[in-house]
Amino acid sequence: MFDLVWKQAEQLGNNIKECIGDTPYEFKEPKLPRVRKPPRRLEAGQAGEAHQYATPRDYYRINAYFYSIDKAVSEMESRFDVDDQSVLCALGDIVLNESTAATSYDKVAEYYDLDRDILEAEKKSFVNFGEQSKQTITLDSGHSATNVVKYMYANDQHDILCTYYKCACILATIPATSCSAERAFSGLRRLKTYLRNTMGQGRLNNLAILNIERGFTNRVMQEQMDDIINIFGRRRGRKSYFH
């Protein structure tokens, strides 16, 4: 595989040399870095010689190709070490099904540090309330976790059945992929630049929320900008909001 990568790199290098042939730019061929002798103190009193590579090809195969593969494998192992899929299925079993398996209670309670008995009792109370109430939300009928959260909040159950409500909120807010979270972290580079290095954590959090929810932010700015300006103008100590 490395031979194919190296061959494609050579072809790309030849194409670049042809493109810059009539320009003042110079294409530098790959070469071995300068060999540095390790300090004597690292060799237990004996001066050793650093490993020397025969060709630039050998150097990049070990320090670039193999290093990249090892890094990718280690990151994948650390990310998928925990069985997140089983925890997600257990959450769905608790929130979206009327008859929940006992193992689902055990797994969710252990993973999120919840009281297992309270969670099971609140789930049964929620099902009984739905059967007795006229405004019922029947599980096992295609309802989503978002509908369960809205139903509990509308009927003031979020304060009474707080543990079950917490599980419903977790299931409703878990993204299908990690792309949205990765985009949020990528936006920090644009928010906290070198010119904003004295920014506090509170202001950074507020800017990050505005950046993540940019659709809602743009809609508010277009429809309610005058109200925002009036509210800000009526406040005292406005200078403190810019620190």
Which of the residue ranges 91-105, 143-157, 167-181 would you say has the lowest mean pLDDT?
167-181
Are 84 and 108 spatial neighbours (Cβ–Cβ below 8 Å)?
Answer: no
Q: 66 is written with which tokens?
A: 């193999």
pLDDT (0 to 100) of residue 22: 81
DSSP string, 172-196: HH--SSSHHHHHHHHTHHHHS-GGG
Q: What is the pLDDT of residues 126-169, one digit of tens each?
A: 888 766 665 555 555 557 888 888 888 888 888 888 899 999 89
Sort 164 into a burial class: Cβ within 10 Å, 0-12 / 13-18 / 19+. buried
The pLDDT > 70 percentage for the chain reads 81
Q: What is the C-alpha R_g of the chain?
A: 29
Return the structure tokens found at 237.
Answer: 């100590």
Q: How far apart are CA 219 and CA 229, in angstroms?
A: 15
pLDDT tens readout for residues 34-88: 777 766 665 555 555 666 778 888 888 888 888 889 988 888 877 666 677 788 8
pLDDT exceeds 60 at position 243: no
| CA–CA dist 208, 188 (Å, integer) | 7
Tokens for 137, please give them.
């939300």
pTM, full prediction: 0.48
**Cα dihedral sign for 217, 221, 225, 227?**
negative
Q: So what's the pLDDT on residue 46?
A: 53
7-11, 56-60, 158-162, 182-186: segment of lowest average pLDDT: 182-186
37: nearest Cα among 25, 27, 50, 56: 50
Contacts 24+ apart (CB under 8 A), 32-35: 32/56, 32/59, 33/59
Give the torsion sign (CA, 121, 124, 126, 131). Answer: negative
221 φ, ψ to 5°?
-65, -35
